[in-house]
Amino acid sequence: MKLKILDKYLIKQFLQIILFGLLTFSLLFVLIDLLENLDDFIDQDVPALIVMKYYLVFLPEILRLIIPVAVLLAALFTSGRMANLNEIIAIKSSGISLYRYMAPFAATALIISLLSVYFGGYIVPEANKEKIYIEQNYMKKGLVFIGSNIFFQDTKNRIVTINRYDVDDQQAYQISIQNFDPQQTTKMISRIDALRMEYDSTKKIWTLYSGTQRTFRDTNETYTKFTIYRISDLHFKPEDVIKKQRKPEEMTLTELKNFASEQLKTGNDPTQILIEYHSRIAFAFASFVVVLFGIPISTNKRRGGIALQFGINLGITFIYLVFAKVSQAFGKNGVMNPMLTAWFSNIIFLCAAIYNIYRVRK
């Protein structure tokens, strides 16, 4: 009975500070971002309601980023305050071990992490779609797409890849159009590659320039070069390219996984997409890992109060992000496996957490 009362007390204190942290950090995040974007809002004469909607749909992404920080702050503050009030000494004197004391924190953080996987994997991408739409249509941001992620299925058996698309002149660069056998969807039957492609709005057709056409039949391949090649059976227009252009932050976990598979199937490198996929999951579990790491640090009585706990929180967060950035650099260069890249920070902090727990278990 005493343990149940203690668990309820700890969880209540823990959750209250998490909510306070989320509210405080969210307000700071919004204010800083508003100051950075204020010129864009004024220059583009963005209506106040659209600005409010922008930050409303931006809020899920903000929460996704600050949940681990708020959870760590709550764990440090709750445990640190109890240590300063000698409550932890009283708990240990009653025969409750450090492991049992940590149980309600760890269980709550694990539940938060599991919910964060769904939240960051499915709810946040839907909100990001609206955020990016406002940036493109009201703030005039990101209207020229440069990258290798314009990739979509034009028909059931055709995949189109565009390396760069310029909205102003409605031209695509470095294009690949791949056609597959309707009966064997993994078998490519033809492929067109071109340096440039533009849309003829009068004839409603696409024209490709400086490219090659290859046709595959059993073991034979037909190879043809062309200077100009008009193709009339493409089922997209310039405005559709913008709609089909999707950034990783707009994709759900399922869409990211499918996208990586499609990239691999068509001979493209899916490494960055896989890193994004695994990082989305790994970051959600950061809340659980940092709690295991942070609580043993705060169980000893220290001077400094809130300021010290906040300083420790910032320090741990900074170190975590450094490990994450370093591992991503190695991962994108192919040195590390995408899954290991995403989970590297969590693994390092989990090992440090186990050491801390072992060191202060008595």
What single string gives the DSSP state of each residue in 278-303?
HHHHHHHTHHHHHHHHHHHHHSS--S
In single-letter form, the type of residue at position 60 comes to P
Q: Taking residues 280-293, what's their average pLDDT?
A: 91
Q: Which residues of 14-53 are buried (b: 16+ CB within 10 A; e: fewer)?
A: beebbeebbeebbeebeeeeeeebeeebeeeebeeeebee
Is 175's pLDDT higher than 80? yes
Q: Taking residues 286-290, what's their average pLDDT?
A: 91
Report pLDDT digits (tens) over 124-152: 999 998 998 888 778 877 654 444 467 77
- Please tell me what DSSP assigns to residue 249: G
Q: Taking residues 247-252, what's their average pLDDT?
A: 86
Measured distance CA(50)–CA(56) in Å, rounded: 10
Which helix or strand (DSSP H or E) is residue 224 part of? strand 220-231
Lowest mean pLDDT: which of 91-100, 108-117, 185-194, 275-284? 91-100
In single-letter form, the type of residue at position 29 comes to F
How would residue 88 be classed by pLDDT, with cut points 50, 70 and 90?
Answer: confident
Q: Taking residues 72-82, what's their average pLDDT?
A: 84
**Highest mean pLDDT: which range of 58-67, 150-159, 181-190, 261-270:** 58-67
Q: State percent of the chain over pLDDT 90.
A: 34
Lowest mean pLDDT: which of 89-103, 259-273, 298-312? 298-312
Lowest mean pLDDT: which of 28-37, 129-138, 272-281, 282-291? 129-138
Spatial neighbors of 319 by CB under 8 A, at least 6 apart, are: none
**Three-state DSSP state, 327:** helix
Judged on CB neighbours under 10 Å (0-12, 13-18, 19+), 264 is: middle
Instruction: Output the pLDDT for position 358.
Output: 81
> Among the residues of 94-248, which ranges form H helices?
98-118, 124-137, 238-244
Closest C-alpha to 307, from 109, 22, 80, 87:
80
Phi first, then psi: give them for residue 182, nearest 5 degrees: -60, -30
Q: Which two tokens stand for residue 246?
A: 């999707």
Lowest mean pLDDT: which of 31-35, 88-92, 111-115, 228-232? 88-92
Instruction: Output the pLDDT for position 124.
Output: 96
- What's the pTM? 0.75
Mean pLDDT estimate for the chain: 84
Is pLDDT larger for residue 200 or for residue 209? 209
Is 116's pLDDT higher than 90? yes
Instruction: Output the pLDDT for position 87.
Output: 79
In single-letter form, the type of residue at position 166 comes to D
Is pLDDT larger for residue 37 or for residue 237? 37
Q: Taking residues 253-270, what's their average pLDDT?
A: 78
Is 342's pLDDT higher than 80? yes
Q: Taking residues 47-54, what's their average pLDDT?
A: 93
**Three-state DSSP state, 214:** strand
Tokens 């008595």 locate to 362
Lowest mean pLDDT: which of 58-67, 115-124, 302-311? 302-311
Is 307's pLDDT higher than 80? no
Is pLDDT larger for residue 269 or for residue 49? 49
Instruction: Output the pLDDT for position 221.
Output: 85
